[in-house]
Amino acid sequence: MVAVSKTEMTAAKEKKTGNLSMISAVKTYLPIVGLIIVFLVFNVLTNFRMVKNMPLVLSQVYVTMIATTGVFFIMTMGGLDFSQGSILGIASIVVCMVSRINIPLSIICGILTGALIGAFNGYFYVYRKIKSFIVTICTMFLFRGFIKYLTTNAPVAGSAALINFDKTELKVALTLLVLVTGFVLFRFTKFGTYLKAIGAGEKAAMFSGIRTDKMKFWVYVLSGAITGFAAFINVIKVGSVTSSGGSQLETQILIALVLGGMPISGGAKVRFENIIVGSLLYIVLNSGLTMMGFSTQMMQLIQGIVFLVFVAVFADRKSLQVIK
């Protein structure tokens, strides 16, 4: 499904002691092996209901995967973003409202909205030097309030024509577009290298000529824009936005990335594949638990435990000195 890059395999082989190489191998393969195992386990337990309902299962993955791409860039730099859900909510509302006039325009407006909120986040984070998680939980709360306000009397509904766009091929195509572009940018241009350098050692990155402040700011804008794009896909599925529109997205993204094996503080050990494997694993886990009839609280309990286990396993301990 996902090819493990050769660089990682060589690095794993050439580690000095056998112990280290085993731990590193576990870290490299755990997410994808986990994905396969979990998928098989659930299918067995539900009499292969999951395979039969794959489109339904996958239908939830597109928005998450696209938004996760943006947050992946942020977290590679060592930042955090807890406002993603609110960005999705507001962008979805904008998409709904503009879609009544013109649908392509609504996509653009969604992206712009997301970008603006991203810029808001980026300003306080980069230029006022406030910790990213503090800025983004404030904006999460702030914009959630707006969403509640805008949906006080009734959910905001989009144009009826939107339902025509709810085709799996279209959603898959759009998701792949974002993923492939993101992958090429991250893996094959200096964009990815610079992000990793900022995450691994921001001061030294600055002294190597990277314009760190500018980059940090624009990555937040980019991430907001990407989520704004995801809002379109969200809207064509649900058709309207309620006060809880997009809520929890940030936690979903965080869990998805952690399940995908991404180190919490970013840096050199991140890999783009974390996004894909993680989102799939999260969705499969969730759907599987739902299909097995677990209650919401049991699901959340399992989510929490799995999350903690994965974070502990994948944390890049050496570069964690910065965050307490």
The C-alpha torsion from 278 through 75 and 195 to 279, rounded to 10°, is 20
- Contact status: 14 vs another protein (CB under 8 A): yes
Among 128, 154, 169, 293, binds another protein (CB under 8 A): 128
- Contact status: 315 vs another protein (CB under 8 A): yes
Q: Report d(CA 288, CA 294) in Å as an integer.
A: 9
263 CB-side CA count, 13 A: 23
- Contact status: 317 vs another protein (CB under 8 A): yes
Residues 208-237 that bind another protein (CB under 8 A): 208-211
In the stretch 26-65, what mask flags binding to another protein with x, by CB under 8 A? ----------------------------------------
- Contact status: 264 vs another protein (CB under 8 A): yes
- Contact status: 146 vs another protein (CB under 8 A): yes
Nearer of residues 42 and 124 to another protein, judged by Cβ: 124
H or E element in which residue 240 lies: strand 240-241
Nearer of residues 71 and 254 to another protein, judged by Cβ: 254
Tokens 């306000």 map to which residue?
149
- Contact status: 152 vs another protein (CB under 8 A): yes
Least Å distance, CB 96 to another protein, is 18
Among 31, 34, 70, 79, binds another protein (CB under 8 A): 79
Nearer of residues 80 and 283 to another protein, judged by Cβ: 80
What letters, b where the CB count within 10 A reaches 16 and e where it falls short, cover 226-240? bbbbbbbbbbbbbbb
- Contact status: 323 vs another protein (CB under 8 A): yes
Is 11 within 8 Å of 27 (Cβ atoms)? no
Q: Report d(CA 123, CA 163) in Å as an integer.
A: 37
The CA-based angle 188-190-195, given to 5 degrees, is 110
